[in-house]
Structure formats: C-alpha cells, structure tokens
Amino acid sequence: MDRAGQKVHRAMQEATPKAGAAYTFRRHDNVSTDFCTGDKQYCSWSQESKLMASDRRAGDLLGSSVSVNDVQGTALVGAPGAAAMSMYKTTPANNPHYPGKATSVEIPIGDFMAKWARSGGTQTLLPNAMRQVLQQRAVDASSATAVTAAEDVDTQPDYDDPLVYDPRAFDDREYAEAGAMYVFRRNNIIISAGVVLEVQNWPPTEQMKLVPPALRARDGLGTSVALSGVTAFGGANGDDGMGNNAGTVYQYDIKMQRVYFDSAEYYATEGDNSDVTITISRDADYIGHPLTVAYATSDLTAKGIDPLRYADCLSMPVAAREGCGDYVQTSGEVTFAVGDSAVNFVIDLVNDFCKEHYSEYVQLTLSIPGSTALGGEEYYAKLRIDDDDFTYTECTHEFL
Ligand SMILES: [Ca+2]
Ligand SMILES: [Ca+2]
Ligand SMILES: [Ca+2]
C-alpha cells in the first residue's frame, strides 16, 4: 500500500500458511497473576500460549473449531484441512509402490468391501479415496485427450505434470483434507496457602492426536468439535459412509490423556529373556475410574510372527529354528481397575542360533479401543531386542 501516512506492514513469508493455531488467554488480577475474584474492573486478560500441531502442514486449518474444559484443563481443537498421515508424520505412499511388483491377493471379506479394497488389482490404506482418485484421473486424462484432439490449446488444462497420467505416481489427493483432532493439556496452576506459585501454562504442542481408522480423504474431521468432561465429539461433514458427504460424528473418551508408556525404549536380550513385560501407567487424576486401553506391536526392523507360528517354533530345537522372526505380534486391551496406576502386557520373544549384526526394534503403540494408534510422545515406545548369538554365524534363511 502506498497511501500517504499509512503504515506499511510486511510480514515474513510463512513456511506453513494456513496450518492454523489456537490461542489461550487467562483472566487474572490486574496487578498480579492471582485469580481475579473482585470486581471486573480489577481484572485483565493475558495471552497464555499459542497451540499448534506438532505435525502441522500448510492448509491444516487447525483452530477451525475449539472446545475447552477449564476444570480439567483440556482443549480439543479441530484441523479439518489436515491430510491423513502415518504415525511417523508422513503421508503414506500410494500403492502400488513399484511398477510390476504389486501382487493381488484374495481378501477374506465381502465382495462389496473387497471391491473397495481392490483398485486396479492394488490394495491401499484408504481404499475409497484411492478409488475416487483413480476415477478422477481417468476423467482428467480423457478430458485432456479430448481437448488435445480438438487442438484447442487455449483451453487445455495444465497437464505438464506427469502425475495426472501415471497411475503409480504419488498423488496427495488420496490423503488430502481427511482432517484431525488434537487434544492439548494444560499444566495446572500451583497454589500454596492462597498464593500462586506458578501460573498455569499450556505446552505449545498437542498431548494427543485423534484420528479414527475409517477416516478418508475429504472427510474434514474437526470441522466441529465438542468436549463434555472427558467425552470428545468431532464432526466429519465430508464422510461418505451413509451417502456422498452425508457426514458423521466420532465420539472418544479422552481419559487416555493421563496414560503413558513408562519408558520410551524397552529392551530385552534374545536367549536371556523369553518375553518382555511392557508397563503402561496413568497419573492420579482418573485413578478413581476404571479405564481400558488398547496396545499393539508392529515391525520396525524386528520381524513379528503370529501365535500359531510361535507355537510351531517353540516345538523346534533352537538350532533348527528357521523363519521364526524375532518376537510374537501382540495386540489387545488391558484395563486399569479402580485404584490401579499401572498395567502390563507381555511380548514373547524368539530365540535362535543366528547371529545378527544389529539390535532389532519393535514399535509399540497405544490407542483408545476402536481408534487408530494415538499420536503423541507418551503413546509411542520402542522395544529393542539385542542378539545373543555373537558366537554363531549369520543365518542365510529368510525372516530372520
Ligand atoms: Ca539366540
Ligand atoms: Ca539371534
Ligand atoms: Ca531379526
């Protein structure tokens, strides 16, 4: 702006435009940080914090909806523009990853669902979104061909981008605008004998990220949110479950905000430990309530086998164990009874006589029963399995 007398504002270019944020403010006595208990004229408001998603990306629109429970110190914030992401904060790759290497398998589910899951002989994490995108690509490609055939160069869309034509190329439309909900948790005020020792504060990134398993591109989870006690609701008005954009609402019990893995990394030694016990704890706030949490393992570098295979392997001499992996895939639910501050689950480990160069890692995740793995540092842990076979040779069989 060049108008005389007007200030010119210039802002830095943002790295993540429209990622969004939510701000918290606190009302306090205008000469101290104490609660304002007198007349309003003696109160003032201060900004406490700026809340942002740890995996923020441009266009997430975090803050499109907000709900706060001031008593427990929880804020639920919607980000309807967020793309669906893996727990490693990356957008999953599109399938098939490698031309010619994808294999079609029979899926033991109903024909209708199976058609969703198979798009051109491929499987995908987000089947319906994949199908929509493939259909859209076909439309794009045929309209581009038609325009080219008519030699009407002026109206030809910009199809320089090879993504449009290559069915195997990465296409972020498969994951766009799925939406997400983030739970932020306040560190509460510390008061001693009526004196505020430390004012309440909010860590700037989320305690947990909530994403339901059925979420797909353009569902818009977090268009609206509501929090009542520990019950959280999130609207996803683009959900197609009951018809195109019919919408849906998800409900969560977020007592999980007070639960955590005891350790970021557990460890065990093959041979020494036939299993490893994983402890999950919770803080005192909800100890008067029972709480069921779900847990699961997944392969990082370690290879998991199922319990049937494990039974086979256990019946073989250690020297003969081939294709027995490193550990037994484990998932389930465990319940904190009233008064329990810790619960356990056990992962069985496999011993063999194969030397391995590196320690193996297993990913451990927690979830609210029915949800996907929760996002948030306290809900992720790793199990490291150390090899004990340094006096043996490396094995050549598969699935080590
Ligand atoms: Ca061993
Ligand atoms: Ca070994
Ligand atoms: Ca191994």
Instruction: State pLDDT tens for residues 195-236.
Output: 878 888 999 999 999 988 888 889 999 999 999 999 999 999
Same domain, 249 and 271: no
| Sign of the alpha-carbon dihedral angle for 311, 262, 378, 302 | negative
Instruction: Match 């919770």 to its residue by tokens.
Output: 282
Domain count, the chain: 3
Q: Name the token pair of 149.
A: 């055939």
Which pLDDT does position 249 carry in this prediction? 96
Residues with CB under 5 A from ligand 3 (ion): 326, 360, 400
Predicted local distance difference test score (pLDDT) of residue 162: 40
For 290, the domain range is 262-386
Residues 207 and 170 in one domain: no
Instruction: Give 10-residue mean pLDDT values along the chain (400 residues).
Output: 56 80 92 84 92 94 96 95 87 53 55 53 46 64 66 50 50 84 92 84 95 87 96 94 88 94 96 96 90 95 95 94 94 96 97 92 94 92 95 84
Instruction: Please state, in angstroms and rounded to a whole number, the distance separating the CA atoms of residues 229 and 177.
Output: 28
Residues 311 and 366 in one domain: yes
What integer pLDDT is reported at residue 262 of this predicted model?
95
Task: Say if residues 276 and 266 touch (Cβ distance below 8 Å).
Answer: yes
CA–centroid distance, 143 to ligand 3, in Å, is 51
Task: Please give the Cα distance from 233 to 153 (Å, whole number).
Answer: 49
Same domain for 199 and 55: yes
Whether 221 and 187 map to the same domain: the answer is yes
Strand pairing class (65-69; 190-192): unpaired
- The 10 Å Cβ neighbour count of residue 243 is 8
Shortest-distance ligand to the CA of residue 360: 3
Query: Is 8 within a domain?
Result: no
Together in a domain, 57 and 75: yes
- Residue 365 alpha carbon to ligand 2 centre in Å: 25
Q: Distance between CA atoms of 339 and 368, rounded to whole angstroms?
A: 19
Cα(183) to centroid(ligand 2), Å: 41
Cα–Cα nearest to 339, from 290, 274, 389:
290
Ligand nearest to the CA of 359: 3
Q: How far is the CA of 360 from the centre of ligand 3 (A)?
A: 6
Q: Decide which of 156, 174, 192 is a domain's last residue.
A: 174
Asked whether residue 102 is assigned to any structural domain, the reply reads: no
pLDDT of residue 183: 97
Same domain, yes or no, for 167 and 191?
no
CA–centroid distance, 360 to ligand 2, in Å, is 10
Joined together, the tokens standing for residue 135 give: 């259909």
Give the distance (Å) from ligand 2 centre to CA of residue 131: 43
Which residue matches tokens 């069921």? 292
Q: Return the ligand number nearest the Cα of 393.
A: 2
275: CA distance to ligand 3 center in Å? 15
Are 250 and 277 contained in the same domain? Answer: no
d(CA 300, CA 321): 21
Rounded to the nearest angstrom, the distance between the alpha carbon of 209 and the centre of ligand 3 is 31
Name the pTM for this structure: 0.79
From 231, 257, 283, the end of a domain falls on: 257
* Domain assignment present for 203: yes
How far apart are the C-alpha atoms of 233 and 231, rounded to whole Å?
7
Distance from the CA of 394 to the center of ligand 1, in angstroms?
A: 11
Distance 270 CA to ligand 2 centre (A): 7
**Do 28 and 74 sit in the same domain of this protein?**
yes
Calculate how far, in angstroms, residue 353's C-alpha sits from the geometric centre of ligand 3: 11
**Single-letter code of the amino acid located at 213:** P
- Ligand 3 center from residue 352 Cα (angstroms): 10
Residue at a domain's end among 237, 257, 277:
257
At 316, list the tokens: 């073989």
Ligand sitting nearest the alpha carbon of 273: 1
Task: Indicate which CATH number applies to the domain containing 316.
Answer: 2.60.40.2030
Ligand 1 centroid from CA 386, angstroms:
9
Are 288 and 328 contained in the same domain? yes
